Amino acid sequence: MNLLDLSQASPAARAASPAEVQLDSQGRLRHFLDIEGLSRSILTEILDTADHFRGIGDAEVKKVPLLRGRTVANLFFENSTRTRATFELAAKRLSADVLNLDIKTSSAAKGESLMDTLVNLEAMQADAFVVRHGDSGAAHFIASQITPHVAIINAGDGRHAHPTQAMLDMLTIRRHKGEFANLRVAIVGDILHSRVARSQILALNTLGAAEVRVVAPQTLLPVGIETLGCRVFTELEAGLKDVDVVIMLRLQKERMDGALLPSESEYYRRYGLTRESLAHAHPEAVVMHPGPINRGVEIESAVADGPRSLILDQVTNGIAVRMAVLSMAVSGQMKARAERRSERSRGAGA
């Protein structure tokens, strides 16, 4: 069921730039919808804040009171394990109350529109919506329609964006490789259907990576992908040559229309990351994968579980990044609300 109609958004909302939607008048984060439009300073602030939160996971009491008394609603219109679980943990570690809406058993399954679902949650005084939706642009649409005091966090929309996944990947890279300026990064796999790849490319370029490459069969490359700021390779060996970071992507068979690949075994032979193909990368290159992993299709188990793999680090860093985004967006909304109240009070007293 398609619950979303982007044409419902007002013309002004549809015309707004990504930065105008995501930042308030003071330049603070109010929504986190996309990497596009955000400056290096905002992305660096997210990474620095997440680095600070990483230590909470090692503490005896894994909580801070930053969002005490606030409510975060997780609205997942698509299945998820890592993203949903880490958002829930992130909100709870910030001491927020968490509402997990099971869409399959909610009123949406009875035909309720997306907007009706949202306004009812709004009436419950939720402070943030974490939204995963199968339609590209869903989070942007929701941010344009919902009342100003609710922070919208995009947990993945269609083929468009997955900004918190990109940022946890950036945190993982920064913690293991330092600054981005000298790094060459290869993103390998199903670029065509990947919302993660687009967000990773934008984040890497914004943070100043030396070179971003995408590696895939021609049938799994979107038209014009190079305009995002990446070099395109259709041969794995050439694409991996001397790179510092290899990010593998899942084959999203559920999104594929028609026969885009001859077979999984042929794909693995040509594009699977094995110990032999990894040898073309820099000797100290690290390996990442946003998950879930298809072993023997995208990556060899010996590589996924090997000493150069950062896959489990990505999961750990996901909690810290999502804590950072939630705390920054909800705090920004709270400050903006207080400023609006102050302005109204001054106006009333004039």
Binding annotation for carbamoyl phosphate: 82-83, 132, 162, 165, 291-292
Binding site for L-aspartate, residues? 110, 195, 250
SS3 143: helix
Binding site, residues? 82-83, 110, 132, 162, 165, 195, 250, 291-292
For 301-319, b/e burial (b = at least 16 CB within 10 A) is eebbeeebbbbebbbebbb
CA distance 160 to 148: 23
**What are the start-end ranges of the H helices in 109-162?**
114-123, 138-145
The residue length of the chain stands at 350
Spacing of C-alpha 9 from chain mean position: 23
| 327 phi/psi in degrees, rounded to 5 | -65, -40
CA distance 347 to 1: 47
Q: Report yes or no: 21 and 140 within 8 Å, Cβ to Cβ.
A: yes
CA distance 71 to 69: 7
Residue written as tokens 């609006």? 340
Looking at residue 219, its amino acid is T
From the number of C-beta atoms within 10 Å of its C-beta (0-12, 13-18, 19+), residue 293 rates as middle
